[in-house]
Amino acid sequence: MNVEQMIARGRQVLELERDVVAVAAERLDASFAHAVQLLHACTGRVIVSGVGKSGLIGRKIAATLTSTGTPATFLHPTESLHGDLGIVGAHDVAILLSKSGETFELLPLMEQLTRLGVPTIAITGTVDSTLGRHARVALDAAVREEACPHDLAPTTSTTLALALGDALAVVLLEAKGFRREDFARFHPGGALGRKLLLRVRDVMVSEDLPILPLATTMREAVVELAKRRGICLIADAAQQLLGVITTGDLSRLMESGREIFAIPVAEVMHRTPKVIDADALASAAVHLMETKGVVAVPVLDGSRRIVGVVHLHDLLRAGAA
């Protein structure tokens, strides 16, 4: 097999897997909504089980549910009959995966779950199988063929099972009102979690701020601009923001040819500068700066009092972008 043939075959596999998901999307019906309702009403845990490749897909579905606000655990069907069934409670819901719906290791677990009164959702390629018939809800995961040339190795079937699991998890999290901040709480160690948890107050400079009174001249402002990273804040005695001067303002003033040092800051400052709240997401500060073309923004409290300055470089260094 040459390079061109490898690429063509790889493309064919991807197209097969794309097509089975598209077909499943077309045939999705009220049983899917019923499954979501069962999961939404669950006050215990979601028990996910399957054997072989279906078991691996089940582990991923359980992990996705857990990370999006629905406690879930994977239960191996064989081990469940040797003591692990003890993790199952009467308030749980189970998701069972089997392409054939006749997986002999899974059917005894199905019987025990039924005995315990645990409602089951089957993801199966044969909805009229033993598993499909006895489940509370059966989701159709049938595929015409596997991508394997011998139609043996689970490929398109596992892709579809995973996609259905993802669909359940996503619709469920929306039904629960799961927010970005909730996601961050469950992923504090990841880059996305840090981005969602990081607030402006965590990054801003709050001491030795470049604040000058309104009566100041540009002589003092130039000194502050040089010392304080290109921004100078003009405030009243109560530390309420009146305006902002930046190095850009200074450059434009110098180009005018005027004697700049005696000019009052009131003539130069922006009286309606871009500002941000200390409790805003750091990523929101990055967006504000990038869209407005500024590299530093005053941070205010609810009374427009200055509590800090946040710099774009500090935000980027902290991973807010």
What is the predicted pLDDT for the residue at 192?
Answer: 54
From 209, 194, 197, 214, select the one nearest 310 (Cα to Cα). Answer: 209
Q: Out of 10-14, 180-184, 223-227, which region has the weakest mean confidence (pLDDT)?
A: 180-184
> How far apart are the C-alpha atoms of 288 and 294, rounded to whole Å?
8
| Tokens at 184, concatenated | 């961050």
pLDDT in tens, 258-308: 888 999 999 999 999 999 999 888 888 888 988 888 889 999 988 889 999
If 0-12 CB within 10 Å is exposed, 13-18 middle and 19+ buried, where does residue 319 land? middle
Residue 36's pLDDT is 96
- 250 pLDDT above the threshold of 80: yes
Q: What is the mean pLDDT of residues 63-70?
A: 88
Question: Cα–Cα distance between 241 and 233 in angstroms, integer?
Answer: 7
pLDDT at 1: 84
Cβ(199)–Cβ(279) below 8 Å: yes
Distance between CA atoms of residues 223 and 201, nearest Å: 26
Task: Work out the average pLDDT over 159-168.
Answer: 96
> Taking the CB of residue 215, how many other CB atoms lie within 10 A of it?
10
Residue 193's pLDDT is what? 55
**Helix, strand counts (H, E) of the chain:** 14, 11
Predicted local confidence at residue 183, as pLDDT: 61
Instruction: Select the more confidently predicted residue: 55 or 255.
Output: 55
Query: What average pLDDT does this structure show over 42-71?
Result: 93
- pLDDT at residue number 196: 63
Q: What is the pLDDT of residue 63?
A: 93
Region 73-83 average pLDDT: 87
* pTM for this prediction: 0.64
- For residue 318, the model assigns a pLDDT of 79
Summarize pLDDT for 88-124 with one digit per residue, the tens: 988 999 999 999 999 989 999 999 999 999 999 999 9
Question: Percentage of the chain with pLDDT > 90?
Answer: 60
Q: Check whether 75 has a pLDDT greater than 90.
A: yes
> How large is the average pLDDT for residues 239-255?
89
Which domains are seen in the chain, by residue range? 3-178 (3.40.50.10490), 200-317 (3.10.580.10)
pLDDT of residue 294: 87
* Tokens found for residue 47: 């028990």
- Burial classification of residue 86, based on how many CB atoms lie within 10 Å of its CB (0-12 exposed, 13-18 middle, 19 or more buried): exposed
